[in-house]
Chain A
Amino acid sequence: MSEQEVKNLEEIFEARIARDEKIEPKDWMPEKYRKTHIRQISQHAHSEIIGMLPEGNWITRAPSLRRKAALLAKVQDEAGHGLYLYSACETLGISREEMYEQLHSGKAKYSSIFNYPTVTWADMGAIGWLVDGAAIINQVPLCNTSFGPYARAMVRVCKEESFHQRQGYEIMLTLCNGTDEQKEMAQDALNRWWWPSLMMLGPTDAESVHTEQSMKWKLKRKSNDELRQQFIDQTVPQADILGLTIPDPDMKFNEETGHYDFGEIDWDEFWQVVKGHGPCNKERMKARVDAWENGEWVRDAAMAHAEKKANKKVAKAS
């Protein structure tokens, strides 16, 4: 293809996105669009899969049968999200094995929030309320993103996430209506998850490298800082209802702007965790690599068995 032809295709492509048309896997797309989407969708899928671990940590210790069932179902939903996000990503010409390989080698990233430990039951509430809350803010705009399979996957993901968030908030509410010990447990969880949740919405706009291009492709509709503000404005009143204190002495409603002002985020901590040195990065990665390696003989057996079966069929037919 000549340079001019590519340029023409690119113009048609950009015009389609501007008209809010969906791009489908078989359509022509610029290489950069394909790569950016592989990066983001696989990162999203990995986050779902790694995200199963901190919550999975409490399945065996959930305090009631109802909570145990709800938690199991929630973690299973995350596996489901991972599954259809991997599938959406595969339509761009990368296999699930390749994506796993990128995750296990550290080449692909996942949401840094999952590198924090879940140390009490209240963390199940805080994760649902804050982490899923922040995730929804990030993800709702993606239901209208330009790449069809991603947009459609996100519609389903968002529905389930908002259910998870309500469930998490309800765990917090139960704790806050409980004994002093339970309230203390809830406050402690909020203290530990608040700042990492704010970091989840990404580096400040000045530091964000992908924003401009992503806006153009509708992979992003609002900047990280706008999303963060939206999250804070939505969450502070919810904390008030719970009777919990946001662990930020600078948090204050600003009558002029109509938004909450908040304190400085510790970006050194953020980058430390992103670069692999958070409290649980090594453990999370080990759990995934172990699962994959210990499962190899099982996957091999399934392949071998399927082949034997197919051969038997062929032998019968001939």
Chain B
Amino acid sequence: MKKDLYNYILGIADNSLILAQRLGELCGHGPSLETDIAITNISLDLLGQTRSYYQYAAKLAGEDKTEDDIAFLRIERDYKNVLLVEQPNTHFGHVMARQFLFDVYHLMLMEQLQNSKDETLVAIAKKGIKEVSYHKRFSSDWVKRLGDGTEESKEKMQEAINAMWRFTDELFDVMEADKAMIEEGIAVDVSKMKETYYEKVSEILEEATLEVPERKYFTRGGKKGVHTEHMGYLLADLQYMQRTYPNMTW
């Protein structure tokens, strides 16, 4: 099996799965019917992308592995999503801050992934790019609305951005498995995206009349499988059925 490629795919896909799971928690509880529908849409897009990645990874793994084995039957340390996407839905400001800070990165990643030498990844990226650019527009618009809305919303949005900010730097860490893939022209060298990312994010935050936090203290670990304490509970929900009723067809 192409171990490096497998790991590289999971590194990307796990972000989509975990964020989709978080957004799925909100279904039926949004601040308005329209935002509820939009957030569910984003969750569905991410879930669709996850499935394409995992199906590809399952094929690489062979041994009758399925997308569900990969999604549901790993231990926490084997999930390689960034810490940002597992953060809880504290309030709508947090949901939008998390989404916005991820979407800007995600869109850049998809744009670059289109140039990969791996055809399947190119196909997934090409399909995903349309979805992700909508996500980015949606979350940026909300960051602007909430930042430049009422005094209360500005305060809440700033607090949310501050809370999520420390998880952004990890997005640009390159893992050991990625290095070989970058050399082969398959993976995106995300470390090179960092400066542009912070420029883009800052531009929107300024437009939202929000302060751009200092780039000083960051928390990382998700890419190595060392997660925040929120992750275990998220996985308990996600894996509940597969763990309680193993080896069944649903």
In the complex, the answer to whether B27 meets A59 with C-beta atoms within 8 Å is yes
Residue of B nearest to A76 (CB): B40
Residue of A nearest to B51 (CB): A65
- Of the listed stretches A67-75, A138-146, A204-212, A246-254, chain B binds A67-75
Task: State which of B24, B35, B51 has its C-beta within 8 Å of the C-beta of A72.
Answer: B24
Q: List residues of chain A with CB within 8 A of the CB of B75.
A: none
Minimal beta-carbon separation of A47 from chain B (angstroms): 13
Q: Does B185 make an interface contact (CB < 8 A)?
A: no
Interface-centre pick from A62, A79, A86, A290 (highest chain B CB count, 10 A): A79
Q: Does B248 make an interface contact (CB < 8 A)?
A: yes
Interface string of B149-180 (1 = CB under 8 A from A): 11011001000000000000000000000000
Residue of B nearest to A290 (CB): B29
Q: Does A202 make an interface contact (CB < 8 A)?
A: no
In the complex, the answer to whether B33 meets A305 with C-beta atoms within 8 Å is no
CA distance A291 to B68 in the complex (A): 32
Q: List residues of chain B with CB within 8 A of the CB of A108.
A: none
Considering only residues 218-248 of chain B, those with a C-beta below 8 Å from chain A are 237-238, 240-242, 245, 248
Minimal beta-carbon separation of A129 from chain B (angstroms): 16
CA distance A303 to B91 in the complex (A): 19
Given A75-B27, A174-B249 in contact, is the A301-B47 Cβ separation under 8 Å?
Answer: no
In the complex, the answer to whether B29 meets A72 with C-beta atoms within 8 Å is no
Q: List residues of chain B with CB within 8 A of the CB of A80.
A: 37
Interface string of A174-199 (1 = CB under 8 A from B): 10011101100000000000000000
Task: State which of B34, B145, B237, B250 has its C-beta within 8 Å of the C-beta of A60.
Answer: B237
Residue of B nearest to A302 (CB): B145
Q: Does B88 make an interface contact (CB < 8 A)?
A: no
- Of the listed stretches A34-42, A234-242, A257-265, A292-300, chain B binds A292-300
CA distance A62 to B250 in the complex (A): 9
Q: Does A232 make an interface contact (CB < 8 A)?
A: no
Task: State which of B30, B68, B71, B240 has its C-beta within 8 Å of the C-beta of A61.
Answer: B240
Task: State which of A56, A82, A121, A308 has its C-beta within 8 Å of the C-beta of B250.
Answer: A121
Residue of B nearest to A185 (CB): B245
Minimal beta-carbon separation of A169 from chain B (angstroms): 14
Q: Does B36 make an interface contact (CB < 8 A)?
A: yes
Residue of B nearest to A296 (CB): B31
Considering only residues 102-158 of chain B, those with a C-beta below 8 Å from chain A are 144-146, 148-150, 152-153, 156
Query: Count of chain B residues with Cβ under 8 Å from any Cβ of A?
Result: 47
Task: State which of B28, B71, B242 has its C-beta within 8 Å of the C-beta of A291.
Answer: B28
Considering only residues 264-318 of chain A, those with a C-beta below 8 Å from chain B are 287, 290-291, 294-305, 308
In the complex, the answer to whether B37 meets A79 with C-beta atoms within 8 Å is yes
Minimal beta-carbon separation of B100 from chain A (angstroms): 15
Q: Does A157 make an interface contact (CB < 8 A)?
A: no
In the complex, the answer to whether A295 meets B37 with C-beta atoms within 8 Å is no
CA distance A290 to B21 in the complex (A): 21
CA distance A171 to B249 in the complex (A): 10
CA distance A177 to B54 in the complex (A): 26
Minimal beta-carbon separation of A99 from chain B (angstroms): 11
In the complex, the answer to whether A179 meets B40 with C-beta atoms within 8 Å is no
Interface-centre pick from A63, A66, A73, A178 (highest chain B CB count, 10 A): A63
Q: Does A154 make an interface contact (CB < 8 A)?
A: no
Interface string of B90-105 (1 = CB under 8 A from A): 0110000000000000
In the complex, the answer to whether A294 meets B241 with C-beta atoms within 8 Å is no
In the complex, the answer to whether A59 meets B25 with C-beta atoms within 8 Å is yes
Q: Does A83 make an interface contact (CB < 8 A)?
A: yes
Task: State which of A65, A181, A298 has its C-beta within 8 Å of the C-beta of B67.
Answer: A65
In the complex, the answer to whether B31 meets A299 with C-beta atoms within 8 Å is yes
In the complex, the answer to whether A294 meets B44 with C-beta atoms within 8 Å is no
In the complex, the answer to whether B240 meets A65 with C-beta atoms within 8 Å is no
Minimal beta-carbon separation of B165 from chain A (angstroms): 20
Q: Does A53 make an interface contact (CB < 8 A)?
A: yes
Q: Does A158 make an interface contact (CB < 8 A)?
A: no
Interface string of B1-17 (1 = CB under 8 A from A): 00000000000000000
Given A295-B32, A301-B149 in contact, is the A56-B27 Cβ separation under 8 Å?
Answer: yes
Q: Does A200 make an interface contact (CB < 8 A)?
A: no
In the complex, the answer to whether B150 meets A304 with C-beta atoms within 8 Å is yes
Q: Does B202 make an interface contact (CB < 8 A)?
A: no
Task: State which of A66, A82, A182 has its C-beta within 8 Å of the C-beta of B248.
Answer: A182
In the complex, the answer to whether A76 meets B156 with C-beta atoms within 8 Å is no
Residue of B nearest to A50 (CB): B28
Q: Does A64 make an interface contact (CB < 8 A)?
A: yes
Q: List residues of chain B with CB within 8 A of the CB of A174.
A: 249-250
Further 4 A-B residue pairs, CB within 8 A, beyond A61-B238, A79-B37, A291-B30: A61-B240, A76-B41, A295-B92, A298-B92
A-B contacts, 11 listed (Cβ < 8 Å): A60-B25, A61-B238, A64-B68, A68-B47, A79-B36, A80-B37, A291-B29, A295-B92, A304-B150, A305-B146, A305-B149
Top 3 closest pairs, chain A to chain B, by CB: A295-B31, A301-B149, A301-B153
Which residues of A does B touch, CB under 8 Å? Answer: 49, 52-53, 56, 59-69, 72-73, 75-76, 79-80, 82-83, 86, 121, 171, 174, 177-179, 181-182, 287, 290-291, 294-305, 308
